[in-house]
Amino acid sequence: MKDNRNTDNQALYGQYLKATHTLGRIMTLLVLLLLLAAPFAIGLFLEAMPNLGAAAKAFLGVGLVYLVSGIVEYLIYVPMLGAGGSYLAFITGNLINMKIPCAINARDIVGVKSGTPENEIVATLSIAASSLVTILVLALGVALMIPLQPILQSPVLQPAFENVVPALFGAMACKYYRSNRVIALIVLGVMSFLFVFVPSLIGSTSMMVIPSGALAIGLAYLSFRRQRKGREGSK
Amino acid sequence: MEILSKLNSPFLYLLCGGIILFVAVICVVFGVRAYRAGKALGIDVSRMKRVIAASATFAVLPSVGILLGVIALSGSLGTPWPWLRLSVIGALHYETQVAEAAAESVGIGGLSLSGMTGEAFSTIALLMSFCIMWGMVLVIFNGKAYSNRLSASALKPDAAGQGKTGSASFGDSAMTAMFIGLVSAYIASYIGQIVSENGLFTFSGNWLPLAVAVIAALAMLVFLKIREAKNAEWLDSFSVAGSMLIAMTCTIFLAKLM
């Protein structure tokens, strides 16, 4: 009975994933086309089309950096977000400062394992809910822009809103550092050393996630192998 | 001023609002599909509801931060375009940098309303769309293959014959480690900022981000201790948002000390 149920679930999950990829690719492509077409529609409205030469020049100046960081983000974050979560997250953006911590937090709260159907479902639900909240907050904010602007931009509240990301990473660090103290201490130490001695790297922190993550994964692998050997030895 | 009224015209609100509405519908469709699939797969409905509640709560404060980005950019780009960019695909730190660089390359010196022209705006808008589309492009053309490869590797039995999603999985450790790497890179950059931002070992940089991170971490520790002592699982849904709120409130007072 249990085997039948597992087979049914696997088939169901397979169908779900297949449909998610089809839907995800179509929707992402549509959004991409809309985003690329919008500047031309605005150009028609303003009677001033984009200057393609200037755009190409600027792309060579700054865009290539984003091309590299886009590839890196894709390679790193798809394994964290699963299929449905990835399509949604890349459409809605704000990955580092919201979607990734949000999905990881949700995964942790309900205790699901990576690579499982539960992880796929939880990540998609998490990204969908957080994206809708952002869309709603921004829509309300834009609708109430005139009364809200003096409050949100008041010099008193400004420092609080300028430090949303440090507050987010501080809270998340406590949660994850507690159960991985050695790895956290080494990675934080090495990265601090780099930023202190090469302060120009501070402006490229999003790129520095790569060596930092690689070091953390390397250390986690060593710890994993040691624990596995310990378990095998005790058998 | 005429350009600003055009950038805030009903046409631009309609265009940008329409795309945002389309993306909201996509989020609803994906969310509903995942919820239904979760139910069909036998995932506890209350766990899925907890995920939705926790994620929604989690997103409120960062969303207000993003709204400030919209307000900041609205002075030079009008409101509808930054609203679209930061609701869909964009990220606060990217958008401002790209818009600034684009403004320089179209010859208006920098991102300001005084030099803004129709051509400059449409070029900036195109560049903002083009520069930050690579994640979407990759997920369209390679997302399925990459996800399938990851799933196959997660399900492949190891030497002991166990599926890697079982207790012997390295996948979970790797995900957690990657996240520790991400958080550590940012916190280390705050340390570097204090120590060497204005020259090696000058200790005169901005200390507020690190102070905020430390306060948020301490608040989180209190939440975790209460959760463990009282077995209050419900607290998980609010602990991150609560810690952030405490830290951000403290920032207001700390900033006065600077």
Per-residue pLDDT reduced to its tens digit, B70-81: 887 888 888 999
Using a pLDDT cut of 70, give the percent of chain A over it: 96
Contacts of A214 in chain B (CB under 8 A): 181
Q: In the predicted model, is pLDDT for residue B149 greater than 80?
A: yes
Pairwise CB contact (< 8 Å): A92 & B89:
yes
Residue of A nearest to B20 (CA): A135
The domain segmentation of chain B, as residue ranges, is 2-136, 171-257
Pairwise CB contact (< 8 Å): B171 & A27:
no
Pairwise CB contact (< 8 Å): B217 & A153:
no
State the smallest CA–CA distance between residue B156 and chain A in angstroms: 11
Which range has highest mean pLDDT (A30-44, A69-83, A206-220)? A30-44
Question: How many Cα atoms occupy the beta-carbon half-sphere of A32 within 13 Å?
Answer: 21
Select the residue from B180, B197, B223, B227 to test the A interface by mutation, using most A Cβ atoms within 10 A. Answer: B180
Select the residue from A15, A69, A94, A152 to test the B interface by mutation, using most B Cβ atoms within 10 A. Answer: A94
Distance of CA A1 to the CA centre of its chain: 40
Pairwise CB contact (< 8 Å): A201 & B192:
yes
- pLDDT, position B102: 77
Pairwise CB contact (< 8 Å): A196 & B201:
yes
Residue that is written with structure tokens 């404060």 in the block: B61
Residue of B nearest to A80 (CA): B175
| Stretch among A106-110, A154-158, B126-130 having the lowest mean pLDDT | A154-158
- pLDDT, position B155: 59
Using CA atoms, how far residue B188 sits from A65, A186, A216, B149, B174, in Å, is 22, 11, 14, 33, 20
In the predicted model, what is the mean pLDDT of residues B96-101? 74
Q: What is the mean pLDDT of chain B?
A: 86
State the smallest CA–CA distance between residue B52 and chain A in angstroms: 6
Condensed to tens digits (0 to 9), the pLDDT of residues B219-250 reads 999 999 998 898 887 787 788 888 988 999 99
- pLDDT, position B141: 95
Pairwise CB contact (< 8 Å): B60 & A137:
yes
In our burial notation (b when 16+ CB lie closer than 10 A, e otherwise), range B130-143 reads bbbbbbbbbbbeeb
State the smallest CA–CA distance between residue B38 and chain A in angstroms: 6
Condensed to tens digits (0 to 9), the pLDDT of residues B2-54 reads 888 899 999 999 999 999 999 999 999 999 999 999 999 999 999 999 999 99
| Alpha carbons B196 and A8: distance in angstroms, whole number | 59
Torsion of Cα atoms, B147 then B152 then B155 then B159, to 10°? -140
